[in-house]
Each structure stands twice: as structure tokens, then as C-alpha cells.
Structure 1
Amino acid sequence: MASFSLVSTVSLPPEQPPVDSKPKRKRWILILSIVGAGIVVILALTLGLYFGLKKSSGGGGSNQESQDGTSTDSTKNETNHAIEDNVVDLGYSKYRGRELGNGITVFLGMRFAKAPIDDLRWRAPVAPESTEGIQSAEDYGKVCPGVKQGLGGQYHEDCLFVNVWTPATSNPDKKLPVMVYFQSGGYILDSAPYTNGTQLIETSDNNMIFVTFNYRVGLFGFLAGKDVKEDGDLNVGLLDQRLVLKWIQEHISKFGGDPDHVVIHGQSAGAGSVALHLVAYGGKDESLFAGVISESTFMPGQPKFDDLEYQYEDILTKVDCLDAKDRMACLRGKSSEDLQQFNRQGPFADRTYPATFYWAPCTDGDMFPDYPSKLYERGDFVKVPLLFGACTNEGSNYAVNAGSSAQFIRFMLNEYPYLTDNDTETILDLYPREPSLPKHDIWFPSASRAYGEVTFICPVNNILNAVAENYNSTDIWSYRYNVQIKDFVEEGRGVPHVANAPAVFGPDMLASRSRASYYTYNAPMVPIIMNYWISFVRALDPNKYRYEDTPRWENWGDDQRRLVFELGNLTMESVDRGELERCEAWWDMGNSTKQ
């Protein structure tokens, strides 16, 4: 743009003899005003030209969005975010993700550890190898093989992959809160490897990042024994999880996430996992997470590693390694197929019938210096805000259809093999015969309540009470999910284990039989649940960003308060005194349940 003098364009009147100073003063005020306005115009034109040229050359600028969250035509070519061309550089590898049509970019199947095969089988995960060029992150990686799953297709031992969903406009300056989802599966399966975080991010108005990952399960994740401890590592499935959390600390900022604001979130075994990371290494706080959501907290027995020697020797026998000079080397020399055929459920020691969840974490003396319940009781846990809860009928999917009290007790002994005779008498006193349920025998309701409480509901109540006593009761929230699905009620299962999952993620985002009703009569629950959860992720408080016209969620407090979710009815309740007493009894039986 050519420069010019604004002053030279102004015609001044011929000089007149001074007659009155006031008119002359007015003329000069007018002249100066015109000059000032001209200067402003020049500056505006100059700056407009400068930033217009910068924008056209790919420079910075805000990414204006339309009401539906997608970039408008005037800004669609801007690259004001760090994830240029959907490529992220992790140092050891570069990955190209895929931008979805809704303003979200997804990175799938990124390695967070080297393949845990050959000599790395039953060892702690190690950093992945470096690669050249740009790797595709547009499809999920292989899934860790669980019990009774055939290898090939989607299942493979080379399975340690992480997935990230992030707003397409993210950059390191955003520092978005991060939800890390620990999938379920009872430690015997990776049962939800394709859980999708898209609807959560959309509902948050692109104000969060979502992460999922695989971890080793079953025989490959939780083989225990003295040899494993001496020439390998115990609880490698949990060590996989721990490495993901460290990976997030190192890399999530490259996706626009805040490593100081990570909320770990799990359902079932994932919920049990996040509860275990609270007490891992005696509650050592490595700043890996800032909050925890635990839904249907799965806490099976967690025996000491040397009490599980029979599982180890059983596998050695089946694959002809029992008499090998180096038994661990023999096991590591077996093919995945040789081992996978014996990745099955079996009975616990001195029991006849297979346990529902045969493979699980052990108390190893390192990651877990004592049973988890003892660590919580001593206050040896990471002190962060918590959101814990369970469904009303947690045990109905798993309990034996018992026709007698003897069948009921035999089932409990199969699942918790260290219960004593005194314990079983106490259990019968706590869980007498209840009214019958549709399509079930007469002692099923008692078996369902007992198993549901010891395994899922009481871990929630007892952990929160321990946290309230040893930390505070104001940064913890609890719920009871009682939204009914007609088919389940007609089957006599009530509101079963993790029935709330479609409301948390949205029914489109996961495969579940329970999701159908969330397209129809239970659909109003989706935005309610989802926004409470999102609020906790964003603010470490479920109330700040809760859905409009929903009640304030009171904290656990001294009265053990929890929010009851029912269709069309959200209310606070204090936990029933009978339930608390039964949970206290299970807490006292901790040496027998090994929880």
C-alpha cells in the first residue's frame, strides 16, 4: 500500500487577521479531529492487510466454529492446532490419525509398549521400539486374548495399543482434561476394546480428551507363582495399565491434553483396576491421575502370589513344562496357540466347580504390600476426588440359580475358596431366603444379593468409608443405579451389573444388550448421566457442568449419601443401615475373602 499524507489533503482557509480567538480554536479542534480519524483508518487498513496476508500463508488465527461444531468455510484451511495434517510425533514413532466429520480427530492403535511376546511374556511392559516414517493410526490394534478366545483375527499377544479421541482444534495450549477409560472383562477378557468416546467429547462441547487401551488379561496377564516372581513380573496386566498412565503423562499434551488433569475411569474390572491403582505401592502418589470414577467396582479375592502356585503348576503340567530345568523359559518358548488352548476358567484350590473369574490380580508384596482392603483401612491410598457407585442388582448376572441354602453356600465357596465354616454361617445369617424372582429358583435372590454385595457393592461402600475416615468425605460422591430395562426385570435380574454403561457413553458408542432401551424409553437418562460424568472429568465435581434442571449431587459425607438414578426420578438417599452392616461384616471377613 502506498503511503500518503493525510494533512496534505486538507484545505486550510487563507490566513485572516485575528479577530476572535474562539472561532480559531474551534477550527484547530476540527482539523486535529480529522487528522486523528485519518490515522486510525490508515492503521486499520494496514493491520487488516497484514493479517490477511498472514492468514493466506497459513499463519495463526482463531478457528471459528459453526453452531454444529464444524469449521466454517472461511476458516477451514486454518492450521492453528498442533496436530498438523493429523500427525503426532511421539518421539519413538509418528502417527497419523483420522479426522472425523464431527470435529473430532481419533488416533487408534498406537503402540505404548513393545510386543509382550517371547522373552517379554510375563514381564513388565517396556517402551516400544522406534519406527521410521509415519505410522497409520486409523484402525484399532489387536486385542489381548482372553479365556476361550481363538487367536487370529482380532486377537493376538501383540496387543498393547492405546487410542485417543481429541477435538480437531486441540493444541498444547488447550490443556484439556483427560478421561482414561479402563475396560471391563473380569480380568479374563478385554471385553470392551472398541468403546468409543465420540459422544462424550461432543456432549462436553469439545472440552475433554478420551483415551482407551488394551491390557493383558487371563493367563497372559495374571499368571502367578514363585517362579514368575523370580524370573518375571506378577500382575503384568496392571503394570500395562500403569505404563499407559505414564505414557499419558509424557505424551497427552501433544494431543491437547493436560497431564495434570487426568481422570481414570473404569467399569467392572476396569473399576476394580482404578481402585487398585489408588492403593498401588502402598498408595504412592506418582501424580498419574487427579480423580477417579469407579462404576460397579469389581473386587474379587486377591490371594498372595504363593497361594496361587497351583494355577502355575497346572499350566506347567498341561504344556509339558513341569519337569523342565528352566520352567519359565519353557513356558516362554511355547507358541501363543499352545498356551491359549489352556487359557480357561478352572476351580480354585480344593474346589470342584470352575470359578466365574479364575484369573485375577494377586497380592504380590510389591505393588500390593497387603490386601487392598487393609491398605484402604490404613489410609495407604492416593488422596484425590472420587466418584464410586454400583447398580442395584450387581450379582444377578453371576449368581447360581440355587434351589437350596446348600447350593447357595457351595457357590460362595467356589468364588471365595478361603471362607471358613464360621464365615458361611455368618453369610446365611446375613442373607436368609428372600421372596422369589421370575424364572429363578428359591435361593437365587439370596445368592444374587450376597455375591453382588461382596464383589461389587460393598467394595464401593467400604472404600468410601475408609477414604472418608482417612482423608475427607467432601470430595467423594456415590450413586445407586436403578434404571430398569424391561427385559431384564422380566428375567428376574433387576438392574444388573454395569447396566448404566449405555447412559455413560451413549448407546451408539458400545456394543451391549442393554443399549436398546436407551434409544427409546430410557433415552432421557443419557444426557443426565453423561453430563454428571463429564462434569466430574472437567471440574472434579459432578455438579458444576451437570445437565439443566437436575439436582445437586450431595457428597458422601458422614451420612453415607448417594444419588439414586431412576427414570424420571433422581433422589438422594442414605445407604440402608442393613446394607452397611452387611458390608461391615464382609470387611471383617477380609482375611477370608482376600480382598
Structure 2
Amino acid sequence: MRYAAPPLGSLRWRAPVEPVQTDPGTVEKATTFRPVCLGTGAPYPADGQDEDCLFVNVWAPANATARSKLPVWVFIQGGGYVANSNANWDGAEVVQRSGHSIVMLNFNYRVGLWGFLASERVRADGALNAGLLDQRMLMQWVKRHISAFGGDPDHVVIHGASAGAGSVAMHLVAYGGRNDGLFVGGMAESVFFPAQPTVAELEYQFDRVVGQTGCDTVAPARQMACLREKNVAVLQAANQAQPFPGRTGPPVPLFYWTPCVDGDFLRDLPYRLFERGQFIGVPMLFGSSTDEGSVFAVDAASPSDVATFFRDNYPLLTANDTSAILARYPQLPPVPQHRPWFPTASRAYGEATFICPQHNLLRSLSNQPKVGHGGSSSSSLGLYAYRYNVHDAENLAAGLGVPHLFDAAAIFGPDSLGPGGARASYKTYNAAVVPLMMGYWLSFVRALDPNVHRMSGAPVWECWNEEGGDAGRRMLIETQGATMESTPAEEAERCSFWLALGRERMEQR
């Protein structure tokens, strides 16, 4: 179904708007998946991708009515803000596993050039962070319409994977932590926090786009109009990753387009907003895999390969910074199919980009009073964390360990991710992990607590708590079951290093 009007022509790079009402006498069929949003680097035309892409999918019990008031699970897919990477995952199994007691949604939002083009020229004649505004529009659509599917508009839990998890964090601090009543809890699976530039720092991207599309020949005040007049194929040809300023490439950065600090939706750097308590205080569940960086890291043969990889992907890092990184990440034991310094690059990138943002968010959430929660103590807020360490023979043979989003098949069910979406082990020796994970997650959706409706025999999931000097308690999930563990002190120290390094670079901009 459409949740917003097609973002075409004059609606390019603008905040989403309501779709046009169809004739009341007609019924639109909504039985097949529609195109996802155009991703960075995709050809045009691209199979299954289009500029007209703002669609939502809903799974609900067949007998649900407007009086059912079922908890609602809204999934925000990932893709590094450059693609819709987890599109159209099937929500039928989670609805069935819940005893038909929830409603499940997923949706598309604009990414890459289409969702995150930034400039003062965009601000003057459009909207910054359009992809995040799409997500907000979807939540407003849910608030207005989900009761028609049996959902409770006052019990919505947002869940994101990777960039979707980073988006969940962004919605906590959106508009300075303003609580619009759009959700009552959040689940963040492998929080992705890329560089978070200001608009001024992204003017070079806009200049590249107008140069590559021929819109640099018109006056700056006319450049947005020029871009809106261009054929989609011309614009998609410019929707490419390119080296950051000061880097020559190849390779190009993994994630070229990102949300920006726009002074409105994001009124400051997210870490500052969290540290100031400017966030919505709701129960949260966070998790990451042991080897988050393995599918992203360069296959490094030497320490200099690791350093170059980091500077190519984090443009504010200096040579001194990469030396400090390598001092904390020495050479690790080898893994199959990779060069000697790949494990180091994998661990460093995984912690810098996924694991430590989660750790540092939990630290801020647990230690600060928060806007929208009455300024109350964090002790009353349910915060839960986990580390996913379920091994798979194919992953191990490929040298990937427990990679990014490997937990997704256990959260949604192995048949829910589409063709090739789940390893075969989820049907054999890892099969027992599925009801364990689904039980915890469905319990959180229903009760804002992973324990209330957990699988029979599953251990109690303790809250994360840093009081008394503890680095934080999290659930360790493995093939043989689950148990609580404390975050290792050395991991917590490395996360403090990344936070301090990021803060230093941000303050020097």
C-alpha cells in the first residue's frame, strides 16, 4: 500500500505528503510487493527498484478488527542509508508465532541521493534528511490507520536493523527528543552509526551532483528545479559512491550518503543529544553479533591496509588516529579465506561502526534523565542488550565468524528472509535458537519486556545496568542456549576510545 505520494517530479527531495485518495467506489489490490527505493550504484532501470517506492506491507491476523488493539511491530530496514537491503521480509511467521496477537509492518524509505542529498540549496527548496522524514511519515500513517488492521496505535514498537537500528536511535532524539506519541518502545539490531556530518560538510556532494547532471550551468537558486526536471536515469547515474574529500580512491567508501545534522530533525550531533538527555525515554532492546565487521572490512594484508581502509571510510581521521586505532587492535589469529590483517580490520570496524555505538548509546540511556519521560531516573526504564554468538559452519569456513545481522533469521524465522536469506543450519543444528529468539522479541513487542512471554525454560533476561562500575550486562545467545554475561572491561575501554576520538574530531570541525 502507499503510505505517501510518489516522490516524483516536484516532490523530489521534499518531505513526504499524503497520497491522493482513490475513488471511494474502487478497491486497490495490495497483494504483491511493489518496487523498493533506488539504491546507490544500481543501474536504471533496475529490476525491483524505482523512484516511486514509498510502500508499506502489513501482516495481521485474519480475524483482527478495529477493536482488537493488538501490539504493533514496525520494522525499519537497513542498507547503510544507501539501499533498501532488507525489503519485503515476510511478517507472517512472527504473527503466527505470537499466537496471532500482533500486527507486523515493514516499508521502504528513500536512500542514497534520493533520500539524503544535502546542501543549503536543498534546505531552501526542499527537505533535508528526506529518508528519515519518510520513516516519520510511516509512523504517522500507522498512528492514523493501523486500527483498521487490528493494531493498537498507542502500542507501537519500532525495530530497525543496521541503518534501521541507527534510525531508531535518530527517532529517539528527533526534534530534540520531542515525544509525538508515535512509539512506546524500540528494538535496535546492530546499530549502524556512520559519520554524521553537518550540512556545510556535505556541500561538496551537492556540487558533484549538479556537475554530473549538468545543473551547474544554472544559477544556484535554480539548481533544485533543474534536478527535479532531470530524467531519473540521469540522476541515478549520479547516485554513486565517490571518494571523500582528500581521498583519491579506489576504493570508494562503503557508505557515501548519510543523514546530516540539519538543525531541525537532528538538532545536534546525536551523541550530544543523548549525553544531554534530549531523547524520548522508552524501553529499548539492543543487540549485535560478535563479528559485526567481517562482511565490510578490507581483506588487509598489513597494518597500513587497515589504516587506509579507515581513512577511506571515516574522512576526518588522521594518520595519528589510525596509529592509535592500531595500538588498540593488534594482529589477531588468522581466519580462513583471508589475509593476515583481516581479523584486525574486521574487529576494529565492527566495534567502531556497530558494537560501540550500541554500547555508548546504552551508557547514555542508562545514565541520563530524559526528555519526554518526566526527567525520571533511568532505573525505571527497561534497557536490554545481547550479543549474538551463534556459529554456522559455512560462515566459519568463509572466515566471517558470526557476521552482521546473522541474528535476523532467528528473529523473523528462517523462511521469512526470502530466497537465500538464511543459512541451512537454522533448519538443523541451529534450529533451537529460533524459538528462543522469537520468544524474547515477541515478548518485548507485546509487553515491552523480553521476559514476560519468553519461551518456556529460557533464562531471565536481566536489564543492562552500569551502576557500581559494571560495564553492562547483556544476554549471550549461542547455539546451546542463552546466559547473561558482563561486557568485558577491555571492550568497554575500546568503546570509550571510539567515543572520545569521535568527540575530538567533531569538536575540531
TM-score (norm 2): 0.93
Q: 1:202 Cα shift?
A: 0.4
Q: List aligned pairs for 1:18-57, cutoff 5 A.
A: none
Q: List aligned pairs for 1:347-426, cutoff 5 A.
A: 347-353=243-249, 354-426=252-324
**Alignment-derived partner of residue 466 in structure 1:** 364
> Is 1:117 aligned to 2:25, yes or no?
no
SS at match of 2:453: coil
User: Quick check: 1:268–1:295 contact (8 Å CA) kept in 2?
Assistant: yes
> Is 1:190 aligned to 2:97, yes or no?
no
**Alignment-derived partner of residue 485 in structure 1:** 392
SS at match of 2:13: coil
**Alignment-derived partner of residue 331 in structure 1:** 227
For residue 434 of structure 1, the aligned residue among 332, 335, 341 is: 332
Q: List aligned pairs for 1:505-544, cutoff 5 A.
A: 505-511=412-418, 512-544=420-452
Q: 1:490 Cα shift?
A: 1.3
User: Quick check: 1:420–1:592 contact (8 Å CA) kept in 2?
Assistant: no
In the alignment, residue 349 of structure 1 is paired with which amino acid?
P
Structure 2 CA distance for aligned equivalents of residues 490 and 582 of structure 1: 28
Q: List aligned pairs for 1:543-582, cutoff 5 A.
A: 543-558=451-466, 559=470, 560-582=472-494
Structure 2 CA distance for aligned equivalents of residues 513 and 190 of structure 1: 15
**Alignment-derived partner of residue 162 in structure 2:** 268
Q: 1:304 Cα shift?
A: 0.4
SS at match of 1:199: helix
Structure 2 CA distance for aligned equivalents of residues 178 and 151 of structure 1: 35
Aligned pair in 2 of structure 1 residues 593, 175: CA closer, same or farther (>3 Å)?
Answer: farther
User: Quick check: 1:518–1:526 contact (8 Å CA) kept in 2?
Assistant: yes
Q: List aligned pairs for 1:238-249, cutoff 5 A.
A: 238-249=132-143
Structure 2 CA distance for aligned equivalents of residues 348 and 229 of structure 1: 22
Q: List aligned pairs for 1:495-506, cutoff 5 A.
A: 495-506=402-413
User: Quick check: 1:434–1:443 contact (8 Å CA) kept in 2?
Assistant: yes
For residue 72 of structure 2, the aligned residue among 170, 173, 178 is: 178
In the alignment, residue 414 of structure 2 is paired with which amino acid?
P
> Is 1:126 aligned to 2:17, yes or no?
yes
Q: 1:522 Cα shift?
A: 1.0
Q: 1:149 Cα shift?
A: 2.1
Aligned pair in 2 of structure 1 residues 594, 255: CA closer, same or farther (>3 Å)?
Answer: farther
User: Quick check: 1:271–1:298 contact (8 Å CA) kept in 2?
Assistant: yes
Structure 2 CA distance for aligned equivalents of residues 234 and 516 of structure 1: 42
Structure 2 CA distance for aligned equivalents of residues 514 and 203 of structure 1: 18
For residue 343 of structure 1, the aligned residue among 199, 217, 239 is: 239
Structure 2 CA distance for aligned equivalents of residues 514 and 192 of structure 1: 12
User: Quick check: 1:438–1:490 contact (8 Å CA) kept in 2?
Assistant: yes
User: Quick check: 2:293–2:350 contact (8 Å CA) kept in 1?
Assistant: yes
User: Quick check: 2:9–2:228 contact (8 Å CA) kept in 1?
Assistant: yes
Structure 1 CA distance for aligned equivalents of residues 449 and 247 of structure 2: 45
**Alignment-derived partner of residue 288 in structure 1:** 182
**Alignment-derived partner of residue 375 in structure 2:** none
User: Quick check: 1:418–1:592 contact (8 Å CA) kept in 2?
Assistant: no
Q: 1:592 Cα shift?
A: 5.6
Consecutive unaligned residues of structure 2, counting only runs of 5 or more, are 370-377
Q: 1:172 Cα shift?
A: 1.5
RMSD: 1.4
Deviation string, structure 1 residues 280-312 (Cα, Å, up to 9, x no partner) = 111111111000000000111111011011111
User: Quick check: 1:222–1:361 contact (8 Å CA) kept in 2?
Assistant: yes
Aligned pair in 2 of structure 1 residues 379, 359: CA closer, same or farther (>3 Å)?
Answer: same
User: Quick check: 2:95–2:103 contact (8 Å CA) kept in 1?
Assistant: yes
Aligned pair in 2 of structure 1 residues 318, 275: CA closer, same or farther (>3 Å)?
Answer: same
User: Quick check: 1:396–1:493 contact (8 Å CA) kept in 2?
Assistant: yes
Q: 1:513 Cα shift?
A: 4.5
Structure 1 CA distance for aligned equivalents of residues 481 and 17 of structure 2: 49
Deviation string, structure 1 residues 95-119 (Cα, Å, up to 9, x no partner) = xxxxxxxxxxxxxxx1111110111
**Alignment-derived partner of residue 148 in structure 1:** 41
Q: List aligned pairs for 1:59-138, cutoff 5 A.
A: 110-132=1-23, 133-138=26-31
User: Quick check: 1:394–1:452 contact (8 Å CA) kept in 2?
Assistant: yes
Structure 2 CA distance for aligned equivalents of residues 332 and 577 of structure 1: 52
Structure 1 CA distance for aligned equivalents of residues 321 and 307 of structure 2: 10
Structure 1 CA distance for aligned equivalents of residues 185 and 4 of structure 2: 25
Identity %: 49
**Alignment-derived partner of residue 235 in structure 1:** 129
**Alignment-derived partner of residue 31 in structure 1:** none
Structure 2 CA distance for aligned equivalents of residues 154 and 437 of structure 1: 36
SS at match of 2:311: helix
Q: 1:236 Cα shift?
A: 0.3
Larger Rg, first or second structure (1 or 2): 1
**Alignment-derived partner of residue 374 in structure 2:** none
Structure 2 CA distance for aligned equivalents of residues 239 and 515 of structure 1: 34
User: Quick check: 2:57–2:88 contact (8 Å CA) kept in 1?
Assistant: no
Structure 2 CA distance for aligned equivalents of residues 244 and 332 of structure 1: 24
Deviation string, structure 1 residues 444-477 (Cα, Å, up to 9, x no partner) = 1111111100100001110001000014155100
TM-score (norm 1): 0.80
Q: Larger RCO: Structure 1 or Structure 2 (Cα < 8 Å, ≥ 6 residues apart)?
A: 2
Structure 2 CA distance for aligned equivalents of residues 589 and 231 of structure 1: 35
Structure 1 CA distance for aligned equivalents of residues 392 and 83 of structure 2: 25
In the alignment, residue 385 of structure 2 is paired with which amino acid?
S
For residue 455 of structure 1, the aligned residue among 340, 347, 353 is: 353
Q: 1:590 Cα shift?
A: 2.0
User: Quick check: 1:419–1:592 contact (8 Å CA) kept in 2?
Assistant: no
Structure 1 window deviating more from structure 2 (168-177 vs 584-593): it is 584-593
**Alignment-derived partner of residue 62 in structure 1:** none
Q: 1:262 Cα shift?
A: 0.3
User: Quick check: 2:307–2:323 contact (8 Å CA) kept in 1?
Assistant: no
Deviation string, structure 1 residues 498-535 (Cα, Å, up to 9, x no partner) = 00111111111113454322112111111110010000
Structure 2 CA distance for aligned equivalents of residues 489 and 255 of structure 1: 42
Consecutive unaligned residues of structure 1, counting only runs of 5 or more, are 1-109
User: Quick check: 2:297–2:342 contact (8 Å CA) kept in 1?
Assistant: yes
Structure 1 CA distance for aligned equivalents of residues 345 and 42 of structure 2: 29
> Is 1:299 aligned to 2:193, yes or no?
yes
User: Quick check: 2:166–2:193 contact (8 Å CA) kept in 1?
Assistant: yes
User: Quick check: 2:414–2:421 contact (8 Å CA) kept in 1?
Assistant: no
Q: How many residues align?
A: 486
> Is 1:322 aligned to 2:220, yes or no?
no
Structure 2 CA distance for aligned equivalents of residues 468 and 447 of structure 1: 30
